[in-house]
Amino acid sequence: MATTERRTEAATVGTNTTTALQGAWWKYGMGLVMCFVIWGAFFLAGQATGFVAKGNLARIVFFHVPSAVLSSVCYFVGVYFAAIYLFRNPQHKQAAEVDAKSAIAMELGFLFCILATITGSIFAGLQWGSFWNWDPREISIVIMLLLYASYLVLRAALAGRPEQRAKLAAVYALVALVPAQYLLWAVPRLIPGNHPTDVLFKKETLSPNYKIVLYSSFLAFTLLYIWMSQLRFRAYKLRTRLEGKRG
Amino acid sequence: MELTAQTSLSLRAENVGHHFGVRTVFSRISFEVAVGQVCVVTGPNGSGKSTLLRILAGLLAPSEGSVEMRVQGRAKTSVERRQFLGYVSPDLTLYRELTAAENLEFFARLQGITLSRDDLIARLTQVGLRGRGRDLVGAYSSGMRQRLKYAFALLSNPPILLLDEPTANLDVHGIAMVEEVIAAQRRRPDGGITILATNEPRELTWGDRTVHVDSTP
Amino acid sequence: MTPPEASHDVFRAGWTGQALTLLAKDMKAELRTKVAISAVGVFTFASLLLLGLATAVLKEVKTVAITRLADPLTVQGLIAQMHPAWDSPSKMGLLWVLFCFAAFAGLAHSFVHEEETGTVTALRLSTSAEAVYTGKLLFNLIVLLVVMVAVTPVYMAMTGMSAGSPFVFITVMLSGGIGLAATATIIGALAAKAQGTGALYGALGLPLLLVFLMLLLNAAGTVYVVNAPMLRIVKDVGGLFSFGILIITMSVMLFHFVWEE
């Protein structure tokens, strides 16, 4: 009796997630890919030229680059849901859920941003001898980090008023899009830097083994992000249900 | 806004409900007020009388349901609604750093009304503030501020009046002034609508009908 | 929350007229109470003195670019190549850091005051969101420009910052003023609705200004290039100007959601 009840609850909570990925199979798959990336990063990929520690330092790329890319992707996902929240009929039943999705994307973006900043700083410290160089990428990511933090500060300040919080946070996310988009195209041109982006995106410099591990890493991180979003969203739904029962 | 005798005017709430977060203030309130009527909204403290009036005024979007105001058969949006109504409420405040006259002149200009000196004096006289127009609102007593709110609400001569706690802080003369405002509203050629939110036994008798708001199911 | 409604014909006075009426009211109240101008002004002048004290030594420091030195190194050649370590573009950068802090110390006042005293209700009943935004933006811009006009000459005298090419200098200052006032206005509206303290205002606004400051430093570099090519001026100053314009565009689209409940 109790188990069936729990199962229906889990089912209703699960069905409303909009992502097409359902069930457990892909999570096992993700685990395998992640294991492959960790193994591949140290054993499959060879030593890169032009980096310190006999090129072993370059192995951080498999973890740094996917987090850095995800940290900006998350922002656009958050902004997308924020825009939907604002411009759709306010009495729409899913309005609160759309807001939750926006907030979840921002929280995870903040997390990936921290990871990218730390891994980037470790790389910079070992490669260039200083953990902070005012390189355009470093500046961009730390600005991104602050934008995420401000967004979360605003949400925290409005904790008691969910409707106001949803609306004002959405407006803030969209306004912050203005500086965020300069980070993509203007900032790298404003300041000269030595970030090894070119090495990564010029085809001839990347060995096939590197490519396989890097692309697998992108896949694994993206799936990880989706899984984490789903978990956060489920937690959100259970929490609101609990509050509804109590209130 | 001066409307002609033929003007049709209607105000209707349909299944209006509001909630702050998970807390429901009220839900499924429906009523329609006809022209020439005075409607009294009653309910215990915290039942959401003021929230309902804010929703009717278009100052707050309802969580569910809708408010429909039609002027000459045309439905008005929540922002458009505001030019047809006068609103007096405890949450309404005028600028303390300006004088009463400056306040009225400022809001009149915003609303596109030209206010001559005589008009201004007439409006201040109407609410019993003659001779006090040059005082800063910051120096006003709470009763005088309540009177000035009436002068603000009546600026555009609106066909709909929404009065939340209409006689708060008012003395006997002030209450008589409010009674006169409501009586004048009934006498309008186009038949005005008045909605009061109150629990005062005396004010309950002013209405033709009552809407009861209560959150307890 | 409701989608923006076409409200130009809602009130009989056009929204530009309403915006100017609101601006006139704010100016009148400001001249009476002088809250915003004194907050921003005193903050800026006090910071200016702090800055003057802290940078007194910095002015003396001179530096030489190693790559520019001639092969037979002489003392005369060295002295000829020496230039102040703290050059005009970075002086301008510091001036703008000061303006950014000053703006976020005082420019929320015009919204916070309406919100705290409860005059928002009367304002919402009488005018449209567009008019309020425009009025407040203009008011903040005027306050900021007044402070800038008062402070910049003092700062120039104190630190020896030169004006470079005057036309470009003024364009950069104006573009910067617009960008800063625009950011301070929309964030002020947000902070006022969030019933935030000054700390929240700064925390929300200053991260947005980091990119703005980078664009500004870039444009400041152009001010001091002798006979800078027109293309570079347009690119650099235009980049700075675009920040303000984008923030204003975004604000016009979104202010409705902040203002209405």
ipTM given for this complex: 0.90
**Is residue C1 predicted with pLDDT exceeding 70?**
no
The CA distance from C254 to C245, in Å, is 14
pLDDT of amino acid A130: 86
> Exposure of A93 by Cβ count < 10 A (0-12 exposed, 13-18 middle, 19+ buried)?
exposed
**Is residue A6 predicted with pLDDT exceeding 80?**
no
Per the prediction, chain B carries an average pLDDT of 89
The CA distance from A175 to C190, in Å, is 11
Contact B93 C121 (CB under 8 A): yes
Contacts (Cβ under 8 Å, ≥6 apart) of C252:
C130, C133
Say how many C-beta atoms besides its own lie within 10 A of residue A9's C-beta.
Answer: 12
- For B211, the token pair is 């809407």
Closest partner residue to A91 (CB to CB) among B20, B21, B64 is B64
pLDDT of amino acid B137: 94
Average pLDDT of the residues in B106-116: 90
Average pLDDT of the residues in C140-164: 91
Backbone angles phi, psi at C161, to 5 degrees: -70, 130
Contact C10 B80 (CB under 8 A): yes
DSSP state of A215: H
Which positions in chain B touch C123 (Cβ < 8 Å)? 110
pLDDT band at A247 (very low <50, low <70, confident <90, very high): low
CA distance A172 to chain C (A): 8
What is the percent of chain C with per-residue pLDDT over 90, rounded to a whole number?
Answer: 48
Contact A168 C193 (CB under 8 A): yes
Per the prediction, chain A carries an average pLDDT of 84
More confident residue, C28 or A5: C28
Closest C-chain CA to B57 = C125
- For C200, the token pair is 């929240």
Interface of C with B in 30-69 (CB under 8 A): 32-33
Contacts (Cβ under 8 Å, ≥6 apart) of C164:
C88, C223, C224, C225
Selection from A240, A232, A224 nearest residue A34 by Cα:
A224
pLDDT of amino acid C132: 95
Selection from C229, C231, C251, C227 nearest residue C239 by Cα:
C231
Selection from C59, C121, C117 nearest residue C86 by Cα:
C59
**Is residue A14 predicted with pLDDT exceeding 50?**
no
Selection from C192, C219, C178 nearest residue C92 by Cα:
C219
Which positions in chain A touch C203 (Cβ < 8 Å)? 150, 153
Average pLDDT of the residues in A5-13: 42
Average pLDDT of the residues in C116-124: 92
Q: Which amino acid is at A212?
A: I
**Is residue A1 predicted with pLDDT exceeding 90?**
no
> How far is residue A28 from each of residues B97, C119, C254, measured CA to CA in Å?
67, 58, 43
pLDDT of amino acid A109: 96
**Is residue C85 predicted with pLDDT exceeding 60?**
yes
CA distance A39 to chain C (A): 39
What is the percent of chain C with per-residue pLDDT over 70, rounded to a whole number?
Answer: 93
Winning range, highest mean pLDDT, from A3-12, A107-116, A127-136, B197-206: A107-116
The CA distance from B16 to B58, in Å, is 13
Say how many C-beta atoms besides its own lie within 10 A of residue C106's C-beta.
Answer: 27
B10: three-class secondary structure by DSSP: strand
Closest partner residue to A187 (CB to CB) among C204, C211, C246 is C211
pLDDT band at B10 (very low <50, low <70, confident <90, very high): confident
State pLDDT tens for residues B156-177: 999 999 999 999 999 999 999 9
Backbone angles phi, psi at B162, to 5 degrees: -115, 115
**Is residue B207 predicted with pLDDT exceeding 50?**
yes
Put simply, whether C260 touches A (Cβ < 8 Å) is no
pLDDT band at B217 (very low <50, low <70, confident <90, very high): low
Q: Mutate which of B53, B55, B78, B79 to disrupt the C interface (most C C-beta within 10 Å)?
A: B79
pLDDT band at C5 (very low <50, low <70, confident <90, very high): very low
The CA distance from B174 to B180, in Å, is 10
More confident residue, A106 or C73: A106
Closest C-chain CA to B77 = C5
Handedness of CA B95, C8, C256, B59 (dihedral sign): positive
Winning range, highest mean pLDDT, from A23-32, B120-129, C45-54, C63-72: B120-129
- For C195, the token pair is 């019933």
CA distance B207 to chain C (A): 25
Put simply, whether C27 touches B (Cβ < 8 Å) is no
- For B98, the token pair is 């300006």
Put simply, whether A32 touches C (Cβ < 8 Å) is no
Range list of H helices, A158-207: 162-175, 177-185, 187-190, 197-201
Per the prediction, chain C carries an average pLDDT of 86
What is the percent of chain B with per-residue pLDDT over 70, rounded to a whole number?
Answer: 95
More confident residue, C59 or A226: A226
Q: Which amino acid is at B41?
A: V
Q: Mutate which of B18, B22, B25 to disrupt the A interface (most A C-beta within 10 Å)?
A: B22
**Is residue B5 predicted with pLDDT exceeding 60?**
no
**Is residue C3 predicted with pLDDT exceeding 70?**
no
Place of tokens 């990871």: A115
State pLDDT tens for residues B53-86: 999 999 998 888 999 988 888 888 888 888 889 9
State pLDDT tens for residues A197-242: 666 665 566 788 888 899 999 999 999 999 999 999 999 999 888 8
**Is residue B129 predicted with pLDDT exceeding 80?**
yes
State pLDDT tens for residues A36-76: 999 988 888 877 777 776 677 888 889 999 999 999 999 99
pLDDT of amino acid C6: 35
**Is residue B201 predicted with pLDDT exceeding 70?**
yes
The CA distance from C143 to C26, in Å, is 11
Put simply, whether C112 touches A (Cβ < 8 Å) is no
Average pLDDT of the residues in B122-150: 94
Please answer whether residues B83 and B1 qualify as being in contact, where contact means their C-beta atoms are separated by less than 8 angstroms.
Answer: yes
Average pLDDT of the residues in C176-188: 96
Q: Any bridge partners for residue B162, and if so which? A: B87, B195
